[in-house]
Chains A and B, each alone.
Chain A
Amino acid sequence: MKQSQIRVLIAKPGLDGHDRGAKVIARALRDAGFEVIYTGIRQTPQMIAEAALQEDVDVVGLSILSGAHMTLCPKVVELLHTQGQEDVLVLLGGIIPDEDAAQLKTAGVHAVFGPGTTSAEIIAFIRNAMVGG
């Protein structure tokens, strides 16, 4: 009687108030059968890492449209690792220039999704990572 369910944290770090994308993704993931914990805007990396721990999520999804991704994302990844959650999949969405995306991927962000990404792409990526990872 096992019924594992993929748990995803959707968070908006920093002072960025653009929450439309995050909410769209949160709803799409719920409709795809995931359990989504939405933490709202204005989260510090510490808050996000702590929520990820308490919620024991498989995926942390960050949404950043403010341009602060280069400082915020590596910090979240670092905190996740030091608290023993090296295995969590970290995704990033929002307005992220390509060269930044490339650099973040070497810093532990697994994938970056920009404007126009379909929910189907994101869902497929997560499903794939969960079985294959």
Chain B
Amino acid sequence: MPKPVPTQQLINNLLRGDRLALARAISRVEDDAEEAARIVKAVFAHTGRAHLIGITGAPGTGKSTLVSALVESYRARGETVGVLAVDPTSPFSGGALLGDRVRMTRHSGDAGVFIRSMATRRGTGGLAKASADALLLLDAAGFDCVLVETVGAGQAEIEIARVADTVVVVEAPGLGDEVQAIKAGLLEIADIFAVNKADRKGAARTVAALEMMLETGGAAVRTVLHHGQRMEAGATASITEDEDGWSIPVLETIAVSGGGAAQLRDALERHRTWLDESGARVARESRRLNHMLQTLVQAEILARMEQALSPGLHREMVEKMQQRETDPYSAAADLVRKL
């Protein structure tokens, strides 16, 4: 293997918009926590410009195809687009088959588009641990907008709401009677709904079902779990202040032909304007940074703890528990006291 490019050089090249440097920096951020720290430190001042858009929804609803159609739509306006497409890591082998890219091949050769696939590795909630850092790198590299496709969300995989400015929840008709987003617990995090595969029958019914949900329970539901932060629930719950004045649109799209993509892009732009004008962007960013901070502090504390507590100590405690000399709670308290 040839000598790797020094980190500083990589960072300089990335900030100049060099694509190979960006690609390599993302790998380093994924592979190595220390490198991640070094790289993010150097680029952070250059972030905060891109519109970060999350695309989530049940498996097979057409997220990748819709991302591709959206890219086309943004490019028609001359805006540059970064894409981060996340697929699950197999819990058995640790490997992953990353297939979202197959739906995005038509942007090949366009220097205004950069597409990166990412496996979740040990991440939870539909994203990888390195996803947030990778978004910072795409932002720092100068893309006007960055689209993140989550894994096909099954159950309340709402991590995306913590990292994106705007979340699009993709729904498709014909996946059973229920509205998938409701089943998956995604209703709460949507800023925009896209009912994709509108060429199929049942789309109008799905739109109607979503609109009804939004009218009846939507606002209260959102307050309970808005953007991943648990808020006060209950009958007295009011819409969180940054949600004032945004009514969630439900749009039909036909991603395979690009139908509705321009309208979706317009809605995304309206949401962005609204974020800026209402102050919601600041509020969301503050939550996002707070969450990043918490995650990093926890990881650091965990790492120090693992360093401080020898595996022998752990084993000793487990043995004592097996002998019923101690119990799990007391053992944990003992270990923590030894720190």
Chain A positions within 8 Å of B, measured between CB atoms, are 1-5, 7, 26-27, 29-40, 43-44, 46-47, 50-51, 53-56, 83-87, 133
Contact = CB atoms under 8 A, between A and B. Distances in A.
Given A54-B19, A87-B1, A36 B108 contact: no
Contacts of A51: 101, 108, 115
A39 B101 contact: yes
A22 to B, nearest CB: 12
B162 to A, nearest CB: 22
A86 B2 contact: yes
Contacts of A55: 23, 101, 116-117
A1 B95 contact: no
Nearest to B111: A50
B108 A1 contact: no
Contacts of B93: 30-33
Nearest to B96: A35
A83 B34 contact: no
B20 interface: yes
B161 interface: no
A3 to B, nearest CB: 6
Given A1-B33, A50-B108, A36 B97 contact: yes
Nearest to B90: A30
Contact of A46 (B23, B32, B108): B108
14 contacts: A1-B33, A1-B34, A5-B30, A26-B97, A27-B97, A31-B92, A32-B95, A35-B89, A35-B98, A38-B98, A38-B102, A43-B105, A44-B108, A84-B20
Interface residues of B, number: 35
A50 B111 CA distance: 10
B26 A36 contact: no
Interface string B29-54: 01111100000000000000000000
Contacts of A133: 1
Contacts of A30: 90, 93, 95-97
Contacts of A3: 31-32, 121
B264 interface: no
B24 interface: yes
B32 to A, nearest CB: 5
B105 A47 contact: yes
Chain B CB within 10 A, most for which of A2, A44, A46: A2
Contacts of B19: 53-54
A81 B101 CA distance: 23
Interface string B282-313: 00000000000000000000010000000000
A54 B102 contact: no
B98 A87 contact: no
Given A1-B33, A54-B114, A83 B108 contact: no
Chain B CB within 10 A, most for which of A1, A4, A46: A1
Nearest to B116: A54
B7 interface: no
A7 B27 contact: yes
Nearest to B2: A87
Contacts of A36: 95-98
A39 B95 contact: no
A46 B94 CA distance: 30
A128 to B, nearest CB: 13
A26 B27 CA distance: 20
Given A5-B31, A37-B101, A40-B102, A54 B115 contact: yes
B217 interface: no
Chain B CB within 10 A, most for which of A33, A43, A54: A54
A7 B89 CA distance: 13
